[in-house]
Chain A
């Protein structure tokens, strides 16, 4: 367990370093990009035009000095200043993080509920129902977020009018975005859980529970599920980290704020401080999620030790 913080720091340092140098490798000149985006023009620029921007962001310093400045800032919790918004990156992220976390958690919750209900209802039934169950898992796991989001939007928001089209922060605004994120995830988790679930159904403890007179649903929920969900917990850790990528699309389709949209905009405008800030943050979420998964594993299955 001692090595966990070291490992976590290594992951963070790696993410920060990789993004920093990957962004530097992008085509063109950063000062030109900053000026062109501020004017909406795409043209070469004269040294006189670029000088103030280069000075402002220290773009004329050697790369290693810029890198050291950047890492030093990270250690102090300073992520730098956005090239485009004139604001500290920390503020930009802090503003957007809440919305994405809420979306990610709601999406994962929706995935769990859908998955548990569906697997419990269909696993280990007649061959036809089993095929339907796993077939739907596979189908929804592959649904693209954009397509699914637009479909839900057109059907449930525009046609039926049950939910708002453009969301803000009320709970009803969250339903369709959460489902857009949650439905494919439910498919992924369902694929993993279903095998375990059907395997567990054949175990002696299930037979003995049945002989004690337990109802089928009760046994499925209280005994079988507990054994079958471990892979889904691992996937949840992964899902939390990858929510940023799903959030990019979902936030755009449903016009929600969040770091996904912010990241896309920042990559598009080569706003290096914002991009590196968000990537380091996502790495941090992955690290924390993995630590949590370890803990939850041990709670559910005490046989697992570090």
Chain B
């Protein structure tokens, strides 16, 4: 099926180690491709991914990418943003927008033999809302009320307030449907390692530190409506390998050992494309890589100081220099250009204007200068702290971008302290509180502008929202977002979402830097790999080799 490096030579003794240096063990070159061959069935796809998650089901994107292969969702999202059937065959929304009656496909079974029925769907909703998936829980938070099985194929989801794009959210793999029987009868460890769904693939084994082997679900009956072919997956197996190092991933693809790789470094992009690999790029909708200001403590409480900071930067020049044309610049600090209802006005609200930045800082009272040229007020230096998750949220290209921001902010007198955080520090919450930093950077993938509610809903003592990284508690902004979420007319809804983004831009609460990408480089031998359209992970149901 696949040409790969010969591995016929065995080392009998340690002495052979030396011999190996001079002995050729076989060609590692891909065979010439047969032209015009028909799609073949069978074979193993070797996929090199960059990060190993702790579990195959959970709340973050690394887990969602892999659980997407194993668990079916209720609906699927197409490339043009349309919601099409998956486990749910059809649906009806009540006039008040509060009741979703879903009709399930007939005869679908989980791989443990239990039925994918209305009861199972209702159980999954309750499981998510109770924290079984913390990211699913924040999406449901404030909207979800109950789920009830009416008959085996009919389930009604009730909301406490209308959420027009509710179904769209369910296309994210966080909402992958698991067998309630498996959740109840198996241990946490078993469900973590091999969740039981009705998907195109089944977890065969997980060699920790190396790969997860997925095997075709021969009885697969529930492919999504946007699948290219009906029936079980075409390939037999997926070897989902974890290859942390980007150089190694690219080398593995070039040597024919991997059939496709994730997270293609910007520097390898052009060379791989020229060599005949298919390069796929998906700009994730949702919050882009953006910086938000701490609006309750420190110098950025003053709106003019926030404005001055953004005006000091030529963000487009920074991103195009570092990103080599692969990473898209994003001026919008609230949602990315791939998000429905995106506001270009909010994205264009600030272009570099050093004169104006200087004037705003003068007006804000930062008139003095210290020995290093940083601005001062009452003897205090205009020093601000930006901690960032190095290697987790911010990759090497991202660090270069932040360093350029630091350089340009210095020109108007900001002393920007960049503080790289180890994963432990980053996730520990040590730098998340309002009294720990002045600026924060990060993204949050999503399918629509509903992410605004998660990121900007006010935090109140009764209902804290610690995902609000600007700490900006504004009932007016919340009202706009809620109105948009519940608005049933798409055009009016988009206008409201745009208004919310402009509201954020007007008050300089956050600003955009670049769009988060999900990228793949695929061998020409392999066809039919799609990037699923909720978060951009690979989807292997239609993938097949040509030979």
Residues in A lying within 8 Å of B, measured CB to CB:
26-30, 32-33, 35-46, 49, 52, 82, 84-87, 92, 95-96, 99, 106, 109-110, 112-114, 117, 150, 153-154, 156-158, 160-166, 168, 170-175, 178-179, 182, 251-258, 261-262, 265, 267-270
Contact = CB atoms under 8 A, between A and B. Distances in A.
B429 A113 contact: no
Interface stretch (B240-248, B403-411, B519-527): B240-248
Given A36-B429, A40-B62, A255 B442 contact: no
A228 to B, nearest CB: 20
A165 B248 contact: yes
A107 to B, nearest CB: 10
Given A26-B424, A113-B18, A165-B251, 19 more contacts: A27-B428, A32-B428, A38-B55, A38-B60, A40-B60, A41-B59, A44-B429, A49-B134, A95-B209, A154-B247, A161-B5, A161-B28, A165-B5, A165-B248, A252-B244, A257-B210, A268-B424, A269-B423, A270-B427
A46 B134 CA distance: 13
A33 B433 contact: no
A165 B257 contact: yes
Contacts of B431: 42
A43 B423 contact: no
B134 A38 contact: yes
A84 to B, nearest CB: 4
A182 B21 CA distance: 13
Interface of B: 4-5, 7, 9-11, 14-15, 17-18, 20-21, 23-29, 48, 52, 54-55, 58-62, 131, 134-135, 187-189, 192-193, 207-210, 241-245, 247-248, 251-252, 254-255, 257-258, 389, 393, 422-433, 442, 444, 464, 466-467, 469
Q: Give chain A's interface secondary structure class.
A: helix
Q: Point out which of B27, B426, B429 has the most chain A C-beta atoms below 10 A from its C-beta.
A: B429
Nearest to A179: B17
A165 B249 CA distance: 9
Given A39-B135, A150-B247, A44 B24 contact: no
A250 B302 CA distance: 49
B432 A42 contact: yes
Contacts of A40: 59-62, 135
B424 A270 contact: yes
B209 A262 contact: yes
A61 B25 CA distance: 57
B251 A164 contact: no
Closest 8 CB pairs of A and B: A28-B428, A40-B60, A257-B209, A161-B28, A109-B14, A39-B59, A84-B54, A268-B423
Contact of A52 (B23, B131, B464): B131
Contact of B5 (A32, A163, A270): A163
Contact of A158 (B17, B23, B254, B467): B254
Contacts of A255: 48, 210, 241-245, 248, 252
Contact of B210 (A33, A41, A156, A256): A256
B295 to A, nearest CB: 16
A197 to B, nearest CB: 20
Contacts of A267: 424
A86 to B, nearest CB: 4
Given A113-B15, A174-B11, A42 B192 contact: no
A171 B11 contact: yes
27 contacts: A26-B425, A28-B427, A42-B426, A49-B131, A87-B192, A95-B207, A95-B208, A99-B209, A150-B248, A158-B254, A161-B29, A162-B23, A162-B24, A164-B7, A164-B255, A166-B241, A170-B7, A171-B10, A172-B10, A175-B11, A182-B17, A254-B248, A255-B241, A255-B243, A255-B244, A268-B422, A269-B54
A158 B59 contact: no
B18 A36 contact: no
Contact of A251 (B10, B24, B209, B255): B209
A41 B464 CA distance: 16
Contact of B208 (A178, A253, A257): A257
A68 to B, nearest CB: 25
Given A38-B54, A39-B135, A162 B25 contact: yes
Contacts of B251: 153-154, 157-158, 165
Contacts of A254: 248
Greatest chain B CB density within 10 A among A35, A84, A106, A162 is at A162
Given A28-B429, A33-B424, A166 B209 contact: no
B27 A161 contact: yes
Given A41-B467, A42-B432, A254-B248, A113 B10 contact: no
A102 to B, nearest CB: 11
B207 A257 contact: yes
Contacts of B193: 87
Nearest to B426: A42
Nearest to B436: A44
Contacts of A117: 18
A54 B383 CA distance: 37
Contacts of B444: 41
Contacts of A49: 131, 134
A160 B5 CA distance: 11
Contacts of A268: 422-424
Given A158-B254, A158-B255, A175-B20, A164 B248 contact: no
Contact of A253 (B20, B187, B245, B428): B245
Contacts of A269: 54, 423-424, 427
Contacts of B429: 28-29, 32-33, 36, 42-45
Contact of B209 (A96, A150, A158): A96
